A and B are shown apart, each in its own frame.
Chain A
Amino acid sequence: MKMNKKEIEALIHRYFEAETSLEEEQLLRAYFQRDEVDEQLKIYEGYFNYFRSQGEIKAPEHLAGKVLQTIQKEANNKKGIRVLRLLSRVAAVFILGIGLWFLYKPGGTGEEIKPTASSIDWSKYEVKSEEEAIKVMQMALRKTSTELKKGTNIATTEIHTTKERWAFLK
């Protein structure tokens, strides 16, 4: 549709009053896209061409690929984490299994532990004569007497200490 200068001017006026329809706005943009724009209307040429050119802008071609790559990477990371978790569970069960096997394996409880050293021959410590028996008894009584004396000394020392402390507290 070819429009004259007056009609375009009227349309521009209504456009700036926000009274135009979408179709009329399209007509305006189409008019200013032409080569032969009226000299007096040239001031609006850049204005309407700005909106037309902005409408033709497209996102960079690599953008979608970049987004899909990020999504894929995240999915792989999550998958990796899931696999690691599964592997760690399997490893835990395996280790537990091995532990239990060693604990309960047949003959593994120590019931049949064989002595590694030869047993002590107590017969050589047995008293063989009456004299030897008296000697052993005397030794034992002497040892008992010494220990009993030690006990009396300790008790005497303790009583003295307690007395001193009591006196100090008084």
Chain B
Amino acid sequence: MPIVFFKSKVLPLQNKLYRLAVSMTGNRQEAEDVVQEILIKIWNKRDQWHLIQNMEAWSMRLTRNLSIDKLRSKHRRTDDIEEAYSLSDNNRLEKQIEAKFTLEKVSNWMKLLPEKQKIVLHLRDIEGLSYKEIAEQTGIDDNQVKTYLFRARKNLRNKLKALYENE
């Protein structure tokens, strides 16, 4: 029965999918909408389940793609995310960051990371996946995974340093 499989194999992924959507969109309400949409989408594609080798990787990929779509449509109304990051020193968002270090700041920096860096950092530092697992879930080459991770951490470290040097 598809519903039994859905309840036992797909629904338990909801926390992982939700965390990913939160990291990608930076907004819990939006993340909830994304995960709900994805779970229903997975159910509606139940006639294709037999073709999917790794349900978790597939679900994560769907979540990532939908989160990116949501983020892009949101940023079309404001600024481009990559541009926002490269211009971050003069950026309005950056100016809003308070002097004292908090979790919220890292969360804001995460939001500004380029998409690939963001997903790789999320899967490594939040979900604790190996490079190989990250490569499987994202479709990014194994070696590239390490490069994106290095860049993401370097970006955040630079922000961290800048924050403390300004204090």
Contacts and interface: CB of A to CB of B under 8 A. Distances in A.
Contact of B22 (A54, A63, A64, A67): A54
Interface stretch (A16-24, A123-131, A160-168): A16-24
Size bracket of the B interface = 35 or more
Interface stretch (A1-9, A40-48, A139-147): A40-48
B46 to A, nearest CB: 10
Interface string A24-54: 0110000000000000000110110111011
Interface string B100-132: 011101110000000000000010111110100
A47 B32 contact: no
Given A18-B153, A46-B105, A60 B32 contact: yes
A50 B105 CA distance: 9
Interface residues of A, number: 28
A44 B160 CA distance: 8
A53 B103 contact: yes
A15 B156 CA distance: 12
A55 interface: yes
B160 A43 contact: yes
A59 interface: yes
B136 to A, nearest CB: 15
A138 interface: no
Interface of B is mostly: helix
A71 B36 CA distance: 11
Contacts of B61: none
A57 B40 contact: no
A66 interface: yes
List the 9 closest pairs (A to B, CB-CB), nearest first: A59-B18, A18-B150, A50-B106, A51-B125, A59-B14, A67-B39, A18-B149, A50-B103, A54-B126
9 contacts: A16-B153, A25-B124, A26-B128, A46-B103, A53-B103, A54-B23, A57-B18, A59-B18, A67-B36
Interface of A: 15-18, 22, 25-26, 43-44, 46-47, 49-51, 53-55, 57-60, 63-64, 66-68, 70-71
Interface of B: 3, 6-7, 11, 14-15, 17-19, 22-23, 32, 35-36, 39-40, 43, 101-103, 105-107, 122, 124-128, 130, 146, 149-150, 153-154, 156-157, 160, 164
